[in-house]
Amino acid sequence: MLEARSLSCVRGTRLLFENINLRVAPGEVFQVCGANGAGKTSLLRLLCGLTLPERGEILWGGLPISADLARYHGQLAYVGHTPGLKFDLTARENLEVTLAMQPARDQADLDQVLERVGLSSSAHIICRHLSAGQRRRVAIARLHLTSASLWILDEPLSAIDAEGVSDIESILIAHLEAGGMVIFTSHQAIELARYSIDTVNLAG
């Protein structure tokens, strides 16, 4: 379980948000809402342990994430606003990098994952030559190759077409059904079948 208590964040001299509380248990999904500049990405980065809050604390399994950040990161998959790809590698090679850190997986998984996200025909194209939507699909495809229970996703539907949106929704539903947890931001609506989406609203 992930829990945030009384989080506050300051950027420069500006207070982005304060007293943010949330608790995400297995099988639950949270959406961070707010206007542009309200601090949505900043909150996600705090929850990832990439930056420190001005005040408050973040707990994983009842313990502060700072107590063992490496262990926490081992249970976390983060897809940021930018895809975080190596642009000089192909789509498949980017996934191979992820696969190398998941020894329980094998190469057969890659073909299945590429097909599932609609990238079979683009697997051997250098990522700098892919469209923004295709790059996003590569980033999302890495989620298939991780055993992390907590997914934190910043605008996962950005530049994705309608078919891709449906594919991503299916990926999220499967993760929740397996007892996973999801926290995300999105300017687009996401439908997750029987799963209700809790929200935390940043006033901005």
- The predicted-structure confidence for 96-153, as pLDDT tens digits, reads as follows 988 887 655 556 578 889 998 889 999 999 999 999 999 999 999 999 888 899 999 9
Q: What is the mean pLDDT of the chain?
A: 93
CA-based torsion, 103, 105, 110, 116: positive or negative? negative
CA–CA dist 157, 136 (Å, integer): 8
Specify the amino acid at residue 130.
L
Does residue 167 have a pLDDT over 60?
yes
Instruction: List, for residues 46-63, the tens digit of each pLDDT value.
Output: 999 999 999 999 999 999
Instruction: Specify the residue for token string 């990405």.
Output: 41
Residue 182 · residue 153 · CB < 8 Å: yes
| DSSP assigned state of 54 | S
Evaluate if residue 187 carries a pLDDT over 80.
yes
What is the structure's pLDDT at 204?
58
